Amino acid sequence: MKRAVIRRQASPSKKRRGVLSMELAITLPIFGILLMGLFEYSLLFASRGDVVDACRAGCRRGTLAFATTEDVEEAVRWSLGSTLGPHAIIESELGEYTGDEVVVTVRVPMSAASPDLLWPIGFGLTDRELSCQSRMVKE
């Protein structure tokens, strides 16, 4: 009877040493930038929803009889909360009579909504805004 001879390879050749670390060094920064972009985008997307909800709440408040611009601003800032509320720029045009149009515009700087993580690759949040405009009819 012959015995099967199992040949084991010797240690990996010297030419292949360091290939894994080189692949990691190339792909890890790309993966990190991708994760930071995903994180920043998700924060901006959630903040955009907050700005839209706050704009609608302010516009609803403005449609009520005897509503003032201060009432609209209060409703918007309360809806935005303590993180985005202080940075909000609110413009409102309240109609004088029933049936007039009420227009509320809310703008919040993106830098207040999310950390500026992607500025090293050229996508900065400075001078950019999340904005919303709502129109309703005064009651």
Residue 6: pLDDT over 80: no
8 within domain boundaries: no
pLDDT tens-digit series, residues 68-117: 999 999 999 999 999 999 999 999 999 888 999 999 999 999 999 999 88
Residue 9: pLDDT over 70: no
Which residue in 137, 66, 129, 139 sits closest to 104, CA to CA? Answer: 137
139/52: higher pLDDT: 52
Encoding tokens for residue 113? 């909504």
Please, are residues 129 and 107 in contact by the beta-carbon 8 Å criterion?
yes
11 within domain boundaries: no
4 within domain boundaries: no
Give the DSSP letter of residue 2: P
| Residues with Cβ within 8 Å of residue 37, at least 6 apart in sequence | 117, 118, 123
Number of domains in the chain: 1
Range of the domain at 93: 17-137
Residue 116, domain CATH: 3.30.1300
Residue 65: pLDDT over 60: yes
2 within domain boundaries: no
3 within domain boundaries: no
pLDDT of residue 121: 84
7 within domain boundaries: no
pLDDT tens-digit series, residues 39-61: 999 999 999 999 999 999 999 99
> Mind giving me the DSSP string for 3-57?
PPPPPPP-SPPGGGTTHHHHHHHHHHHHHHHHHHHHHHHHHHHHHHHHHHHHHHH
pLDDT of residue 139: 85
What is the reported pTM? 0.79
